[in-house]
Amino acid sequence: MRADAARNRERVLATARLAAAEGDLSLQLNDIARRAGVGVGTVYRHFPTRRALLEGLAEETFAALLAQVRAASRRDDAWLGVADLLRALLVRQLTDPAFAEVISTGPDLDAAPATTAHRDAFDALARSVLQRARDEGLLRPGLTDEDLRHLVCGTAFALRIGDASAERIDRYLEVLLSGLQANTRG
């Protein structure tokens, strides 16, 4: 990749990240181009769609999440591993709305290779974490790893409705975790 191309790509990403941080998730490509001081064509070349730009923004977060989940998968206590996984996936979404939007939709056919790779890596890790909990009879039967991901995305959505506070995050996480647990009562 040519040096100027790489530089511009970064510039665009930085500008988009700034816009997102300011609460503007519309990510209008013409607008981003103007703000980044590059031509519209340049933005469209690197990121043909709003979605592509979102994936670019989410990449870092995705990588950081993977590291956390790897750690969670190495915990002694299987259930705490699940709890860590869920919390990490939840908090990352609350911290990075672009990531939330990317992870909350089915795998995209023409997603960036990096996104697909991250997704696959995450799925594999999640599967193993859950399988361990399942083997130990801690997880409510019938739940797939997809269910888990969807439910966490739903919880993130629920939290985004009101105002985010650490207490609310904890509360909703407890509800979710408790609901996922195998019910050992009658």
Between residues 120 and 146, which has the closer beta carbon with respect to a second copy? 146
| Residue 77 engages a second copy in binding (rule: CB under 8 A) | no
| Residue 74 engages a second copy in binding (rule: CB under 8 A) | no
| Residue 30 engages a second copy in binding (rule: CB under 8 A) | no
Q: Do residues 139 and 130 touch, judged by C-beta distance below 8 A?
A: yes
Interface with a second copy by CB under 8 A: which range of 3-11, 61-69, 107-115, 171-179?
171-179
In whole angstroms, what is the distance from residue 51 CA to residue 59 CA?
12
Between residues 10 and 170, which has the closer beta carbon with respect to a second copy? 170
Place of tokens 């990096």: 114
Interface with DNA by CB under 7 A: which range of 43-51, 74-82, 86-94, 174-182?
43-51
Q: Do residues 33 and 12 touch, judged by C-beta distance below 8 A?
A: yes
How far lies 121's CA from each of 5, 43, 126, in Å?
Answer: 28, 28, 9
Residues 6 or more apart from 174 whose CB is under 8 A from it?
none
| Residue 15 engages DNA in binding (rule: CB under 7 A) | no
| Choice from 14, 21, 24, 49 touching DNA (CB under 7 A) | 49
Positions 122 through 161 that interact with a second copy (CB under 8 A) = 140, 142-143, 146-147, 150-151, 153-159, 161
How far lies 97's CA from each of 32, 55, 94, in Å?
Answer: 17, 11, 6
In the bound complex, what is the minimum distance in angstroms from residue 10's beta carbon to a second copy?
Answer: 31
